[in-house]
Structure formats: C-alpha cells, structure tokens
Amino acid sequence: MKIIVDENVSYGVALALREAGYDVIAIAESPTSGIVDEEIFELVVNTSSVLITRDYHFTNPLRFPSDKTRGIIYIRRGNLTVFEEITLVQKFLSIHSHGDYSGKLVTLYKDSAKIR
C-alpha cells in the first residue's frame, strides 16, 4: 500500500511508516512541497494511495471524494506531540485492515477513530 503524507503532518510519521515497511511519499521532502490541495489529491488518485493529512479541507467530499482514493486519514486538529501523532497513525493501521477504510474518510481523534 502506498501512503502520501501531507506536509502538515509530522515528518516523523513518514519515517515511522517507512520503517514499518510502507511505501511512503512525504510531500515535505519532495519537489512538490507547497503544492495546492487539488494537486495533492490528484497525486493521491493517480498513484492509488492513502492520504494522511491534518488539512480539514480534505474532509469535504464534494471537493475531495474519498471514494476516488485508497482512503483519506484526517488527523483531527489538536495539540499532539510528534510521538502522539505517530502512535495514533500506527495504532489505527495496526487495528484496521486496509479494506476497512479504502475509499473512505477516516478521522483520527486522540482517543478514537471514525470511519465514514
């Protein structure tokens, strides 16, 4: 599974996911850093990837329909340390199979996850 980590997510998430064996594109480290949301979404769709983001705009199904992706994982805003953000993502991915959220929008909270 390919994962695109938006530049507003801690870079440590990309590193931790790579260490766990995921194929990760980190927007922050690529020449595409600073691209607009529509271009990121196009990249996600064209590469059949899961998007991990903290950008609330990606929760809008009219602009960014999750059913065109392998899933959008939105980390809800809040004061999270890098460690907490990494743990939140890793815990979700370890509990849920990709089939649970493929084509869906996931919202991660500090203490729960919502898949729709």
CATH no., domain 2-115: 3.40.50
- Is the confidence at residue 67, as pLDDT, over 80? yes
Hey, what's the torsion of the CAs at 44, 95, 101, 112, to 10 degrees? -100
pLDDT per position as a tens digit, 69-104: 999 999 997 889 999 999 999 999 999 999 999 999
Buried b (16+ CB within 10 A) or exposed e, 104-116: bbbbbeeeebeee
Q: Flag whether pLDDT at 65 surpasses 70.
A: yes
Output the pLDDT for position 32: 58
For the chain, the domains span 2-115
Please give the pLDDT value at position 31: 72
For the stretch 21-25, contacts whose Cβ atoms lie closer than 8 Å and that sit 24 or more positions apart, written own/partner, are: 25/49
Under the banding of pLDDT at 50, 70 and 90, the label for residue 30 is confident
The H or E element that residue 16 is part of is helix 11-19
pLDDT at 12 over 90: yes
Rounded to whole angstroms, how far apart are CA atoms 41 and 4? Answer: 10
Whether pLDDT at 34 is above 90 = no
